Chain A
Amino acid sequence: MTSHFGLMVVFALFVSIVFATLMRDEPREQLKFAGRLFLGFVGAGVLIGWLLYPLPL
């Protein structure tokens, strides 16, 4: 649960739910929009993680 990826997933879940509820009125639309946002957040996080992988810190 406290892994970087796990926390990113939980964070994406909370933010997706709130944004979707703010931006859509119908529950079905909210669910679809929240799902798309969630996948977008997690996908972008993984992609950016891989892009940063070769960079030395």
Chain B
Amino acid sequence: MPATTADRAQPDTTTYLICAAAWLIPGAGHLWLGRRQKGIVFLVALTFMFLFGLWLEGALFPFQLAEPLVALGALADLGMGLPYIIARATGAGAGQVVAITYEYGNTFVIVAGLLNMLVVLDAFDIAKGRK
């Protein structure tokens, strides 16, 4: 592995900024830390997975605390960061319950968000010098 910014532990403030960037734009944390190949793979794969889920008529769940499973789905969706915010702002992700691919779309969107959370944790470990 070539020497990167991540080979030494980052200060706490920088670490949290890296995590925020990694959440906002999938792969941005790794790109910041000099792990260019990983960052590009995360950016492309997670963004396409999220968009593919929306194309399959998947929904972006609302935060309804009265329905815990829906709230958990919303939390997972939020894991995608900026793509989620843009989709929400543009009205994408309304979801077509009657579409045959609705549940598949939900699965793609939710898992993309959860995977991005794992990517954020990985960026945190790298920034702390643990990896």
Total A residues in contact with B, Cβ cutoff 8 Å: 13
Instruction: Please state if B111 and A15 are interface contacts (CB–CB under 8 Å).
Output: yes
Where chain B touches its partner, the secondary structure class is: helix
| Known pairs A2-B56, A2-B100, A2-B101; A14 contacts B48 (CB<8 A) | yes
Q: How many residues of B contact A (CB 8 A)?
A: 22
Query: Does any Cβ of B come within 8 Å of A48's Cβ?
Result: no
- Complex CA–CA separation, A10 to B112 (angstroms): 13
How far is the CB of B107 from the nearest CB of chain A, in Å? 7
State the B residues within 8 Å of A (CB): 1, 37-38, 41-42, 45-46, 48-49, 52, 56, 100-101, 104, 107-108, 111-112, 115, 118-119, 122
